[in-house]
Amino acid sequence: MSTTRLPVLFLTDLVVLPGMVVPIELDDAAKAAVDAASSHSDGHLLVAPRLEDRYASYGVEASIVQIGRLANGEAAAVIRAEQRVRIGSGVSGPGTALWVEAEELGTTGHDSEEVTKLAAEYKALVVATLQRRDAWQVIDTVNKVTDPSALADLAGYASWLTDAQKRQLLETPDVAERLRVLVAWAKDHLAETEVNDKIADDVREGMEKSQREFLLRQQLAAIRKELGEDEPDGAQDYRTRVEEAALPDDVRKAALREVAKLERASDQSPETGYLRTWLDSVLELPWGTRTTDTTDVGAAREVLDADHHGLEDVKDRIVEYLAVRSRRAERHLEVVGGRGSGAVMALVGPPGVGKTSLGESVAKALGRKFVRVALGGVRDEAEIRGHRRTYVGALPGRIVRAISEAGSMNPVILLDEIDKVGADYRGDPAAALLEVLDPAQNHTFRDHYLEVDLDLSDVVFLATANVVETIPQALLDRMELVQLDGYTEDDKIAIARQYLLPRQLGLAALTTDEVRVDDDALREIAADYTREPGVRQLERLLAKALRKAATRLARADAPEQLVIDTSTLREYLGRPRFTPDAHERTSVPGVATGLAVTGLGGDVLFIEASAVPAVEGSGSGSGGLTLTGQLGDVMKESAQIALSYVRAHAPELGITDTAVLYGPIHVHVPAGAVPKDGPSAGVTMVTALTSMAVGRPVRGEVGMTGEVTLNGRVLPIGGLKQKLLAAQRAGLTTVFVPKRNEPDLDDVPADVLEAIDVRPMSDVAALVRQAIEPAAAQAGSLAA
């Protein structure tokens, strides 16, 4: 290897590899090195990187191509690096430049198989990298390079290599080692480039899609504007709608806050949809719309009478409400949104008595809008108060939706089947109704979705229920209870004649000239074919009879008019389903007829008592009491009390043989599949046990109700009106009731009191003596 003396040019910010042609600025040291090379070494000099901690060990021998000036006037030179050299010790030389010995390095192993494979692999990586940058001219230059060492030194032009990496290449004279390092670096860079390009493509596609959607929306808006179909869907349109709407001040402020959020939000934000839905819900509410109540009390009563027969308590209450409203309006005392200005009534009664349809009549009488809210089976508290806006698919509660549907702020809202509201892990809807139905609080009702105060004080709420017991006490306390106890037989005939029959004739496309139904036939249908407090089954039977009549009129030999009377009723409806059986059931000793109240109204209840013969060796002679009929705890206790009373007062009740009272006794209440409970069967149980003990039956036309104490006092019970109606339907003519229930007889219809001999009693012994057949009468009946 030969050595030569060359002036040294140290470069701080540039690493030059063999084969590179680069321009350099000439400071004083560089100018001295270039001048020395031009004057004393045939234009050759040594270019090496300037290191901070040491002198460089390797550099390149370069020739000066051109000396001149840059565009800014600074002196510069263009040099071409020719070969890699090892830097030796410093030597003396002419001029002010630094001279060193440069040792030329041999170029062996270029044609080895390993170097050839490495060169091919590196060239492929370089070409792939350049293809991603569309540098096709550079690719042609690279493809023309065949020398592995020169190919490796082309990395000096690579912008993705750091100066430290380029110095490492400069200090690696072995071609194979240099190519191995470059292959690893090129693979890493290509992988990073692919990832970056993929990310850039995804971002570019997203931006292009957003820009495309924006342009399409602008074009669509322009097209709609030209067609005159511009829709108010922008935030500015919502602001205009809010400012023009007749909103309360606090609602307007809340709406404008949400409009401001909408104006700041982008169209792609999910919050935009929530804000638009909330604003639409608020703007759809009829904030400034109220209907004017009818002030003509007489006309309102006529409307109620025309729609419903009977129900005097409900009609009186509505008329009273109207009368008060009318007087307040005349004296300019009406208060909109004040405490306690609303009305909340609960209509409680058995099915089919007209509770739900009464709500429509109330709205018609008041001149208000009517909305029905079905609460049967509702178990989610959010159904009443609404869902929080943070939930997907959130909506206002049923109360807010009902007002929006009504189109006014003072409608009549019917809360149907309020006794069938349930509770589970989602909350208790009945608890949410406490604020809704409280006239002292509902003027500031706040729905969870709207989160603004809503005035419900001018809404007339009507609630319907079948039984009071399942309504929470706190909720019941907020409502005015109006009891609907069912219809008498005369009421049913009147309802059928005035309402049911005309409606069913219309549904069957018949007229009164084609089909006529006698009142006697209607009475028999109500008495023998139905046993219900309402009129639903009665209407179904009328529909059945009219369908059969329409079928007969379709025949060729049909008469001009069909008459449905008692003689032909069986042809249309078949045999009667119900016949009075109290006389038959009580024809043997130990059976008494009681009266009960269920969710379907009043009903008769038979109590059977029987002495069970003791079996020898069975141990049953201990005087045990067996109770059957699916009885509740209270009714079981009534049986124990009745037996104890009869045992203690046997002589007073006319029982001479008391042994039967201390043997096994079985008390059964028929209809064993139906659960029964309550204390009002106490006197009936005493009567049945006494009848069993004396061996005389209870009078067949007698029914009774009342709670009994251990000393024989008859305590008051509930549902007296319903029980007397049931007694009338069952054909009873004498009913014993507690003395303390005598004031409740004022609520019983006069025709029922005329048909039934109601006897108030305070002592059960006196009741039993009147209810059981006398001994002489029994002997006479046996002789006959």
Is 355 annotated to bind ligand?
Answer: yes
Residue 392 burial (C-beta neighbours within 10 Å; 0-12, 13-18, 19+) = exposed
| Pairing verdict, β 412-416 and 370-374 | parallel
**680 among known catalytic residues:** yes
Distance CA 458, CA 678 (A): 40
CA dist 459 and 18 (Å) reads 96
What does the block give as tokens for 496? Answer: 């059928």
CA 600 to CA 318: how far, in whole Å? 25
The helix/strand/coil state of 362 is helix
Q: Is 261 labelled as part of a ligand binding site?
A: no
Judge whether 760 is annotated as a binding position: no
Told to judge if 209 belongs to the known catalytic residues of this protein, a careful annotator would answer: no
Helices 312-330 and 355-366: angle between axes, nearest 10 degrees: 20
Residue 349 is assigned to a ligand binding site: yes
Of the candidates 176, 174, 188, 195, the residue with the CA atom closest to the CA atom of residue 125: 188
Q: Pick the catalytic residue from 123, 369, 492, 723.
A: 723
Q: What is the DSSP letter of 631?
A: B
Of 41, 680, 691, 721, the catalytic one is: 680
The answer to whether 47 and 85 are in contact (CB under 8 A) is no
**C-alpha count within 13 angstroms, C-beta hemisphere, residue 571:** 12
Q: What single-letter amino acid sits at 453?
A: D
DSSP state of 742: G
Say whether 551 counts as a known binding-site residue: no
Of the candidates 268, 461, 270, the one whose C-alpha atom is nearest the C-alpha of residue 372 is 461
Q: How many CA atoms lie within 13 A of 404 on its CB side?
A: 14
Q: Is 4 annotated as a binding residue?
A: no
Apex 97 CA angle, 86 and 79, nearest 5 = 65
For the record, the structure tokens of 196 come out as 């970056």
351 assigned binding-site residue = yes
| Rg (alpha carbons) of the chain, rounded to whole number | 53
Q: Which residues contact 184 (CB under 8 A, 6 or more apart)?
A: none
Whole-number Å distance between alpha carbons of 768 and 607? 14
Query: Does 353 carry a binding-site annotation?
Result: yes
CB count within 10 Å of CB 783 equals: 6
CB-based contact 11:49 (threshold 8 Å): yes
Residues with active-site annotation: 680, 723
Residues making up the binding site for ATP: 349-356
Residues making up the binding site: 349-356
